[in-house]
Amino acid sequence: MMPKEDLQRLAAARPFQPFEVRLVDGRVFRFHSPEQFLLGRNTIVTLDEEGYPLFVNIGLIATVRVRNGSRRGR
């Protein structure tokens, strides 16, 4: 499981560094600004292409890649 603290550090980083989240099922979510998501207790809340809320369980995150190419994962 991706430690929530790692996600909190990415979300709070200044300047913000874009990152992508890859889930265990292969789906990828890219975040280019901190306004694109909210970090909850066990979820990342973002919007889908049509503007509907999408809840991503933190426990399903396989890897996180920040713009500089480093990976964080299980």
- The residue among 28 and 6 whose pLDDT is bigger is 28
pLDDT, tens digit, 9 for 90 and up, residues 20-74: 999 999 999 999 999 999 999 999 999 988 999 999 999 999 999 997 755 555 4
Determine the pLDDT at residue 6. 86
Say which residues have a Cβ less than 8 Å from residue 53's Cβ, sequence separation at least 6.
45, 46, 47
Strands 19-23 vs 53-57: parallel, antiparallel or unpaired = unpaired
CATH 2.30.30.100 describes domain 4-73: yes
Domain spans of the chain, in order of start: 4-73
44 and 21 in contact (C-beta within 8 Å)? yes
Per the structure block, which two tokens stand in for 43?
A: 């979820």
- Rounded CA-CA distance 30/33 in Å is 9
